[in-house]
Amino acid sequence: MALITLFSILFFMLMASSSNAYWPPSPDYRPSSKFRPVNFYRGFNNLWGPQHQSIDQNALTIWLDSSSGSGFKSNRPFRSGYFGASIKLHPGYTAGVITAFYLSNNEAHPGFHDEVDIEFLGTTFGKPYTLQTNVYIRGSGDGTIIGREMKFHLWFDPTQNFHHYAILWSPKEIIFLVDDIPIRRYPRKSAETFPLRPIWLYGSIWDASSWATEDGKYKADYRYQPFVAKYTNFRAGGCSAYASRRCRPVSASPYRSGGLTRRQYWAMRWVQKYHMVYNYCQDPKRDHRLTPECWG
């Protein structure tokens, strides 16, 4: 028992020494490396705003101006998988502007859809972007909104370079990752609080002035247009909706059964300690009878 206790102390001392308050500890596993890059033309189609979209050597640029934004969608639906892209955001004043990379079946189930979001909420001069993760189940994003938001300020400037953002969705869990570092794990606690129907991958840039920046206090200002988002290094893999039932769901860790390693949990807790700015489960203004997954 003493040896086990000593080992645990040494392990966490090692973890603490490998990180600081500025950069997360290494998760020691890179799920993005397990999936091949996807050519945009082979994996996706323009959904709207084709005149606000361009491709250069498999790097996609989409932009928003006063006339339109733009969006794209995967060619096929999935029932589980890993979905990632390297994204570079627009600098300066971007209040009211949403740059998104997300899963949805809204077109298949209008008014009663599922959605898993990575959204970058635009900002004003001198303030950081907010990365918002969110999960909607069976219409909780339609009509009366029941969001499951966790928000973060990143430990780097997402306008300076490309960084890789990903969603891993399996029948057991949803894991959000930034540069292969898990920032949030949303486990399946019941069928009522977890998306299980086939879903497509989307990306977009659009005007959400009514709520995006400080609850709509700051609006999109088209004196600073165009607002540009760049996507590259698309990676997607898993079980399509048409795959055999023998197709195995992917994992964010070396464990085929899913979950995270101890190092990955450590990195995720570091991010949540130093960079999480909102957790819906900790919001006393929310009616948590509508979010029973917060109870456990």
pLDDT tens by residue, 126-148: 999 999 999 999 988 888 889 99
Out of 107, 119, 214, 293, pick the active-site residue: 119
DSSP H/E element including 11 = helix 2-17
Which tens digit of pLDDT belongs to each residue from 95-124?
A: 999 999 999 999 999 999 999 999 999 999
pLDDT at position 223: 98
Q: Is the dihedral of CA 226, 43, 178, 58 positive or negative?
A: negative
Helix axes 262-274, 2-17, angle to 10 degrees: 50
| Domains of the chain by start residue, with CATH | 35-286 (2.60.120.200)
Out of 107, 115, 149, 192, pick the active-site residue: 115
Q: Are 291 and 148 in contact (CB under 8 A)?
A: yes
Active site residue 115: yes
Active site residue 293: no
pTM of the model: 0.92
Residue ranges in the chain modelled with pLDDT below 50: 3-19
pLDDT at position 15: 46
